Structure 1
Amino acid sequence: MAHSHSHSHSPQPQDGNARRLLLAFAITAGFMVIEVIGGLISGSLALLADAGHMLTDAAALLFALLAVHFARRPPNSRHTFGWLRLTTLAAFVNAIALVVITFLIVWEAIQRFYHPQPVAGATMMMIAVAGLLANIFSFWILHRGSEEKNLNVRAAALHVLGDLLGSVGAIAAAMVILLTGWTPIDPILSVLVSCLVLRSAWQLLKESVNELLEGAPRAIDVGELKRKLNRALPEVRDVHHVHVWMVGEKPIMTLHVQVIPPHDHDALLERIQHFLEHHYSIEHATIQMEYQPCSGPECRLNELHAGHGHSHHH
């Protein structure tokens, strides 16, 4: 059974996320400048690739910080869910930035194969090692926040992980250049690192687009949820008009439930709510209880999709 663990938006986790993001942002932005200078001095594309990742990281962390700030704003009459969706939007922008930077680095690497550039291995090595240490520290800070299941902190951690791999690649390239003088290793490794980062970016892009398009969370199988609710509560005859989507990290749901007229309407409603919260961590559900069989084109559609015979049409 799929369990999605919901987390209440208490101020502590958000404050913790904000502190982690701010610290990681300071380290990343500071080191990005060092890597750009080092990459230009040594002529290393792998270092510049890493600096490119760090630039998007700094932007990613800044977006994430802003999103955490906006998520704290209470709902109002215009934004009834508050500003939580901004965190998803920030993750989406981060993913696109990563994809663009990756393509730019690959393009530059292809140019380097045709026109090899001299690379100062020793300078490259020093900066790559320092970059690795800075990235490990940033990743450690952010990874402590990942138990929040916050898409934004995870987005930022993914960026930093890409950087960490970039630094490892730059160190490896610097060693080969120092030992053999073979400079094509520099663009080769920058392409390899870019491919790893692209994979992470693609995953992030899929997740954030799913949320922006009001898609059901991956952890919740709507067909299975309907069948289980049907089996768990004998009074429930049919479940239809089910909509489930994410706002921030919270799943939200609306559904129509055809029931045998209960003695205690509120008690049955409470049992349905308890089922959704206990099995699927859905704390916010709007449930419409009906005593007549569902009629209308949507119901027939639901029957076709559900593929289980709980309809009571005559």
Structure 2
Amino acid sequence: MHDHAPASGGIRSAGHRRLLTISLCLTASVMLVQVVGAIVTGSLALLADAAHMFTDASGLVIALIAAAVAARPADDRRTFGYRRAEVFGALINAVILIALASWVGVEAVGRLLNPGEVEVAGGLMLVVAVAGLLANAVSMWLLSRAQRESINVRGAYLEVMGDLIGSVTVIIAAIVIVTTGWMPADALASMAIAVMIIPRAIVLLREVFSVLAESAPKGTAVSEIRTHLLGYDGVVGVHDVHVWQLTRGAPVFTAHVTVDPALFADGRSAALLTEMQACLADHFDVEHSTFQIEPAEQSDCEPHHA
């Protein structure tokens, strides 16, 4: 007896593109405000945050392009379709993040070595940083649900999260400057933004490499799936099991299933195949599964793998 929990929804590319577009408009608008604010106030932290948002805007453009490409149907050359485009988009985002962090770090060190070189207008810096905080909060809210289903949207979500934290850091630096006049707070805030960028980029790179290496999706227990399949009447073995994902939220499963020869004689093999595919979709959220059903005597002659 198999009780299946409801399957979660699949990738909704059109909805993702709409959310990414809205987030892009918000990010680009605040980025322009921050660039102007950085020029007027002389704040490196605002400029760093603006550069971060520029990277996010670029990443969102890449994400939109990747999402559009991923929506293309499969063909004879790319039989799984174009969903992997999302992964390459996420890889580009991660590389941009690392380059940005390096640039911000170098500029911040230079400002700390020459603390009296620039006077920062803390009041205006604070106003611009608060505007950035509000815009980032809205973007995060828009992307929060979709990022669980798409590695592409996940990359954009992580970047917006970093922007929000960066805005908080700039706000703190602005308050310090306004209340104490201590200008190095601006450079320190810039360094903090650079330090926050690196872990996010590494997390995203790890997930990208996991997908490209065709590792089993995080949270997928292959042994549990095998045990579940062995619970069906007539199934005597499950081998050559492979689980990977085309992108976040698009797992693929293949396996050889050894069955009692009587199952073929009774004409029940087709029904078993349908039941197992439904099991994978409903219970393990794997919509694309392929089974090779073989009689026990044939399986005994084949080399088995995990």
TM-score by length of 1: 0.85
Q: Distance in 1 between matches of 2:78 and 2:112?
A: 52
Q: Distance in 2 between matches of 1:200 and 1:157?
A: 10
Q: What's the offset of the Cα at 1:294?
A: 4.5
Residue pairs, 1:179-218, within 5 angstroms: 179-218=179-218
Q: AA paired with 2:224?
A: E
SS of the equivalent of 2:281 reads: helix
SS of the equivalent of 1:25 reads: helix
1:266 to 267, 270, 275: 270
Which residue in 2 is equivalent to 1:308? Answer: none
Q: What's the offset of the Cα at 1:23?
A: 1.7
Q: What's the offset of the Cα at 1:40?
A: 3.0
Q: What's the offset of the Cα at 1:110?
A: 2.2
CA distance 1:5–1:54, shift in 2 (3 Å) = farther
SS of the equivalent of 2:75 reads: coil
Q: What's the offset of the Cα at 1:79?
A: 1.6
Superposed CA deviations along residues 25-81 of structure 1, whole A, max 9, x for unmatched, are 122123212212322332222111101210111011111111221122111111212
CA RMSD of aligned residues (A): 2.3
Which residue in 2 is equivalent to 1:60? Answer: 59
Superposed CA deviations along residues 219-238 of structure 1, whole A, max 9, x for unmatched, are 212233223322x1242222
Does the CA contact (< 8 Å) of 1:4 and 1:219 recur in 2? no
Q: AA paired with 2:140?
A: F
Superposed CA deviations along residues 206-228 of structure 1, whole A, max 9, x for unmatched, are 11221122221112122332233
Residue pairs, 1:32-47, within 5 angstroms: 32-47=31-46
Which residue in 2 is equivalent to 1:289? Answer: 293
Which residue in 1 is equivalent to 2:78? Answer: 79
Does the CA contact (< 8 Å) of 1:89 and 1:212 recur in 2? no
Question: After the TM superposition, which parts of structure 1 deviate over 3 Å for at least 4 consecutive aligned residues?
Answer: 3-6, 144-147, 293-297
Q: What's the offset of the Cα at 1:6?
A: 4.7
Q: What's the offset of the Cα at 1:4?
A: 10
Which residue in 1 is equivalent to 2:123? Answer: 122
Q: Distance in 2 between matches of 1:145 and 1:220?
A: 20
Q: AA paired with 1:39?
A: A
Q: Distance in 1 between matches of 2:242 and 2:132?
A: 46
Q: Distance in 1 between matches of 2:138 and 2:280?
A: 40
TM-score by length of 2: 0.87
SS of the equivalent of 2:210 reads: helix
Q: Distance in 1 between matches of 2:233 and 2:142?
A: 49
Does the CA contact (< 8 Å) of 1:258 and 1:294 recur in 2? no
The yes-or-no answer on 1:275 pairing with 2:279 is yes
Q: Distance in 2 between matches of 1:198 and 1:133?
A: 23
The yes-or-no answer on 1:254 pairing with 2:235 is no
SS of the equivalent of 2:79 reads: coil
Does the CA contact (< 8 Å) of 2:7 and 2:281 recur in 1? no
Residue pairs, 1:220-231, within 5 angstroms: 220-230=220-230
Which residue in 2 is equivalent to 1:106? Answer: 105
Identity %, equivalent residues: 40
264-273 or 52-61: bigger deviation:
264-273
Q: Distance in 2 between matches of 1:207 and 1:51?
A: 26
Does the CA contact (< 8 Å) of 1:45 and 1:190 recur in 2? yes
SS of the equivalent of 2:183 reads: coil
Which residue in 1 is equivalent to 2:68? Answer: 69
CA distance 1:6–1:209, shift in 2 (3 Å) = farther
CA distance 1:105–1:4, shift in 2 (3 Å) = farther
Q: What's the offset of the Cα at 1:15?
A: 2.6
Q: Distance in 1 between matches of 2:161 and 2:174?
A: 20
CA distance 1:281–1:142, shift in 2 (3 Å) = closer
Q: AA paired with 2:199?
A: R
CA distance 1:285–1:54, shift in 2 (3 Å) = same
Does the CA contact (< 8 Å) of 1:4 and 1:220 recur in 2? no
Does the CA contact (< 8 Å) of 2:70 and 2:81 recur in 1? yes
Q: AA paired with 1:84?
A: R
